[in-house]
Amino acid sequence: MREIVVNGRFLTQALTGVQRYAIEITRALATLVAEGRAPPIRLVAPPGTVAPWLAPIPVETTGSRHGQAWEQLDLPRAARGRVLVSLGNTGPLLAGAKQLVVIHDAGAFDTPESYSFAFRMWYRLLQSLLARRKARIVTVSAFSRGRIAAALAVPEPLIAVTYEGGEHALREPADPSILSRHGLEPQRFVLAVGTRAAHKNLGALAAAARLLAARGITLAAAGAADPAVFRPAGDVAGPGAIALGRVSDAELRALYEAALCLVFPSRYEGFGLPPLEAMASGCPIIAARAGAVPEVCGDAALWFDPAIPESLTAALERLLDEPGLAPALRAAGKERAARFTWRAAAERLLEAVAEVGA
């Protein structure tokens, strides 16, 4: 296989699920290169970028621009003659068909209320043009494949699926100091993870917060949003609810391991990384049956209808009151999470790279 160039713009961006995917896929690719199971790979990034953890993949900085201008103008020059792989929803139009772009969902088309006007219009235009220029499109779930195919008029069989992994959730030792800082007691709080974007549906947790408060249980919400991308919408508020803001990987692991459960009310997900992280950490899941989350969690979660608020409180009451249910969900979740690994995702990505230009 020809040498691969990885678009390193993600290394300059704030960490969200998209950047997590890019980081972990690149880590897995580095392992495959070290084992001789992948072709030569080079990561090309904007000036000033460093990533020592990527050895044996060399990091090459190029150009004088940053952001979208760097990606559209400097990156294709540096990648000329090689297959370019972009892992974070966008790629340079000048690379034409000699590239692979991972598009994580069709949110800019399907949930416009979640995004700023400029952001969603740019994504719609750019992704449509990438499809027309025959860039190889990869995504992270069968759900996203269907939605992207509809939005970009690309036949579903031409869109590959890699899925994601959850083992990174166990890489860092848990940092329980976050519990004491916020007065959280193990097994006496329910965790929510997500931004305030509209499709994350955090406003639907108000009734759940009241139910939990009546039982002396806290609802703790972790996560922050980039206002340049997302339009702020619902938030977790009310008695017994606290906002933790952005947390580190070590803090998040401690939260997953100590929580009664993760409540995930999102009504649109291209994959659903927090539920997978929670399952890997042994945290029971209560989730909205929406987007790709059922594809990820299978029968290892309790489900509710995001359009019926009382179905969430009913699921919470069942988890709190039914003997043996929480331990059963923990065991099922760990077994389910073991099926999703970054190594397997990287191997599927390489299979799709081999088809670029075919």
Instruction: Work out the mean pLDDT of the chain and round it to a whole number.
Output: 93
Q: Is the pTM above the cut of 0.85?
A: yes
Mean pLDDT of 330-350: 98
pLDDT at 1 over 80: no
Beta-sheet pairing, 241-245 with 99-102? unpaired
- Tell me the per-residue pLDDT of 82-140, one tens digit each, with 9 for 90 and over: 999 999 999 999 999 999 999 999 999 999 999 999 999 999 999 999 999 999 999 99
pLDDT at 228 over 50: no
Residue 101, strand partner residues: 86, 137
**Between residues 23 and 53, which one has the greater pLDDT?**
23
Closest CA to 90 of 275, 229, 276, 193: 229
**How far is 41 from 259, CA to CA, in rounded Å?**
40
pLDDT of residue 358: 61
pLDDT of residue 234: 47
Rg for the chain, CA atoms, rounded: 20
**How far is 82 from 11, CA to CA, in rounded Å?**
21
Domain extents in the chain? 4-165+341-353, 174-337
DSSP 148-194: HHHHHT--GGGSEE-----GGGGTSPP-THHHHHTTPPTTSEEEEE-
- Tell me the per-residue pLDDT of 172-212, one tens digit each, with 9 for 90 and over: 999 999 999 999 999 999 999 987 788 888 888 988 999 99
Vertex 186: Cα angle to 14 and 308 (nearest 5):
70
Specify whether the CB–CB gap between 233 and 198 falls below 8 A: yes
Vertex 8: Cα angle to 84 and 58 (nearest 5):
85
Closest CA to 167 of 332, 20, 16, 352: 20
- Percent of the chain beyond pLDDT 90? 85
- Collect contacts of 89-97 with beta carbons under 8 A, ≥24 apart: 89/18, 89/123, 89/127, 90/123, 90/126, 90/127, 90/130, 91/7, 91/130, 91/135, 93/126, 93/129, 93/130, 93/133, 95/135, 96/133, 96/134, 96/135, 97/133, 97/134, 97/135, 97/136, 97/356, 97/357
pLDDT at 9 over 70: yes
**How far is 348 from 197, CA to CA, in rounded Å?**
30
- Tell me the per-residue pLDDT of 236-292, one tens digit each, with 9 for 90 and over: 556 778 999 899 999 999 999 999 999 999 999 999 999 999 999 999 999 999 999
pLDDT of residue 231: 41
Specify whether the CB–CB gap between 122 and 279 falls below 8 A: no
Q: What superfamily would CATH give domain 4-165+341-353?
A: Glycogen Phosphorylase B; (3.40.50.2000)
Does 174-337 carry CATH code 3.40.50.720? no
The yes-or-no answer to whether 4-165+341-353 and 174-337 have a common fold is yes
- Tell me the per-residue pLDDT of 278-327, one tens digit each, with 9 for 90 and over: 999 999 999 999 999 999 999 999 999 998 989 999 999 999 999 999 99
